[in-house]
Structure 1
Amino acid sequence: MKDDAIMTTAATHAAKEPQQPVANPNVSTTPPSRETVGSFTMKVLNGISIAVVVALVPQALLGELLKALVPSYPSLQQFLALIALSASMLPAIIGFLVGMQFKLNPIQNATVAVAAVLGSGVAKVDPDGGFHLQGTGLVINAGVTAAIAVLLAKYIGPKLGQYIVLFLPMIVVVVAGGIGWLVTYPVVNVFSRWLGQVIVGATDLQPILMGAIMAMVFAFLILSPISTVGIATAIFLAGVASGTANLGCVCASFGVCVAGWRANPVAASLLPVIGSPKVHMANIMGRPLNFLPILCTSAIVGAIGGWLGISGTPISAGFGISGLVGPVTALNAEGWGWTFGNVLIIIGIFIVVPLLLSIVFVRLFERAGIIRPDHYRLDFV
């Protein structure tokens, strides 16, 4: 009887306790953290950077090779179409990965991805019905649209409660997608093409001077959080401007490799060359003087590249020596070709000269006491 009384009392108290609402897995219960303009922008740029690598690396590494082989092996055309289609998925990947940077839930991420596609302009309305999908779209505007969509999804989504599935996609698509499609795309498209044409035109007029400038700028960008491929594709960088920008990335790769050779294991030292020099981003951003030998090397190599007329594409501009994207693209450019002499020139400008100059300037700045090998130490643990 006593046990029954205890159970009855417990049940009575339990009935009086307020019922806790069941959590909806599609609604984020974490209050939105305060974002500064700088941190918000960096998250968007980081999402774009990762997306560019995921979507464009297959085309960058295999595109030129497959184009060369297709005349002899027509069946490879299917694979060429495959990687071209993967590149067209860039806006969707940008939206999804930007959303992940802000730790959005699946529904919010999906709506941001849809909005980014709408704002990118990658799909054009076909007069005969449906849509025509071509290229990668406008990378900058895909990022801008994704940023607007994130703001809506992050701050409006949680207020919709259980109705998030019904209303959030509609709100984000109409508002963020509409702004990206109708308002920002025409403006950003005109500005991006104008900026690219100005840079390419200036490089054509002053290839040596602009070659040095482009190489220095892209050497810095590839060692920063900003995506070099994203910038190059966004402003449609091509020709000698692209080729010399690529040489800047090459100089950054060899520069940090040489500078950190005595402070890092062999595998870690080679990582900037066979992978990406961005692994040294903290070393350069934390101590800008570490960039000095790379700056000197890239200025000279970029000037030589402008004099030689080293060319590239918007995709190749930001990859450097990784995957041999830059050298292969330069050899396939108009006016070049795979002759013995051209191959020797490309090997010299992409490997021999940057490596030798990196050794010279690294030793020079070391003797001046400005840099030390431990300034370029990589710690992955």
Structure 2
Amino acid sequence: MEKFKSFLKRKDIEISAKRYLIDALGAMAQGLFCSLLIGTIINTFGTQFKIPFLTSPVAVIGGTEYTAGGIASAMSGPAMSIAIGYALKCPPLVLFSLTAAGFAANALGGAGGPLAVLFIAVISAELGKAVSKETRIDILVTPLVTVMAGILLSWLIAPPLGKAAMSVGSLIMWATELQPLLMGILVAVLTGMALTLPISSAAICAALGLTGLAGGAAVAGCCAQMVGFAVMSFKENKWGGLVSQGIGTSMLQMGNIIK
């Protein structure tokens, strides 16, 4: 046991709630902001101000057209996984190899993509760190272990996590069947929670097709959650926090919520 503890210490593998639920989760939120949310902001800016460069496709990949913002959004999985690897203090080869793990986890996770990325990137990163510089062919072994672990785990657990995330959607749909006042309150609260949790609230709401009064309640919940966190934390986070949470995501507060 002492040898194992010594090995973990040498590899900087710290199995703790702080490392995984605060450091990694906080970094993941920043990775999400720097990809999906920045991409969404770019697309919205281009659409609202009718800027051709931002609304026209700049690349066609596999028959799918991508705008500038679309490219940024498509990189959300790799961005989140690399951010997690950075928080876990991964060596370079492990950090770069997390790109594939993040893409696979986010793609296969559906509505639970960010949650899948969190679990899978953490495990893949720690496995990669464990084998890093342990062999003479480290440049082959470390990326191979990290990438294959990420892809295998994505194949095994990302789809179930996506289904679990959609259970939040089931709660929202149940709430829409209540009388208007209660429905509005519950839909707003549940949607706000989904916005802050490491799941894709956009994917959930799109799958549910919320419209009318329920759609309005969902929008109110999102606005209240984002603006509320932005204003409440202004004293600590100043203008950067106000902007990033107000027009970005309240998921940036997940690390503080866990604390």
Please identify which structure carries the higher helix content: 2
Q: How many residues align?
A: 227
Matches within 5 A, 1:147-186: 147-158=122-133, 160-181=134-155, 183-186=156-159
Partner of 1:94: 80
CA displacement at 1:57 relative to structure 2: 2.6
State whether structure 2 residue 56 is matched by structure 1 residue 77: yes
Which of 20, 25, 30 is 1:40 aligned to? Answer: 20
* Alpha carbons of structure 1 residues 141 and 162: separation in structure 2 relative to 1, 3 Å: same
1:136 CA displacement: 9.3
CA distance in 2, matches of 1:116, 1:146: 6
Change (3 A) 1:194 1:54: same
Q: What whole-Å deviation, never above 9, does each CA across 1:309-344 have from its counterpart, x for those lacking one?
A: xxxxxxx89469xxxxxxxxxxxxxxxxxxxxxxxx
Q: Offset at 1:69?
A: 5.9
Paired amino acid for 1:103? K
Instruction: Give the percent of matched residue pairs that are identical in Structure 1 and Structure 2.
Output: 13
User: Which residues of 2 match residues 111-122 of structure 1 at below 5 A?
Assistant: 111-121=97-107
1:76-113 CA deviation, whole Å, 9 max, x = no partner? 32367121111010111111111000111110101122
Seen in structure 2, the aligned counterparts of structure 1 residues 76 and 40 have a Cα distance that, compared at 3 Å, is: closer
* Gapped regions of structure 2 (runs ≥ 5): 1-8, 59-65, 252-259
The aligned counterpart of 1:231 is 199
| Map of 1:245 onto structure 2 | 221
Distance in 1 (alpha carbons) for counterparts of 2:53 and 2:87: 41
1:195 Cα offset (Å): 2.6
Q: Which residue of 2 aligns with 1:366?
A: none
Question: 1:33-65: per-residue Cα shift (whole Å, max 9, x none)?
Answer: 532144323233122101111012323323234
Distance in 2 (CA, whole Å) between partners of 1:45 and 1:157 is: 23
Find the structure with the greater CA-based Rg: 1
| TM-aligned CA distance change 1:113 to 1:213, over 3 Å | same
Which letter does structure 2 place at the counterpart of 1:170? L
The code of the aligned residue for 1:157 comes to S
Q: CA deviation at 1:188?
A: 1.4
Of 276, 287, 309, which residue of structure 1 is paired with 2:245?
Answer: 276
Matched with 2:4 is none
- What residue ranges of structure 1 are gaps of 5+ in the alignment? 1-28, 124-134, 278-315, 321-381
Larger RCO, structures 1/2 (Cα 8 Å, 6+ apart)? 2
**Secondary structure of the structure 2 residue equivalent to 1:162:** coil
Q: TM-score, normalised by structure 2?
A: 0.69
Alignment CA distance shift 1:30-1:96 (3 Å): same
Q: 1:232 and 1:209 mapped to 2: Cα distance?
A: 24
In 2, Cα distance between the equivalents of 1:40 and 1:168?
21
Distance 2:82 2:39 in 1: 20
Q: Which amino acid aligns with 1:236?
A: I
Asked whether the equivalents of residues 237 and 317 of structure 1 are also in contact (C-alpha less than 8 Å), the reply is: no
In 2: Cα distance, 1:233 partner to 1:81 partner: 22
What residue is the counterpart of 1:202 in the other structure? 174
Taking the TM superposition and a 5 Å limit, the aligned residue runs for 1:255-266 are 255=232
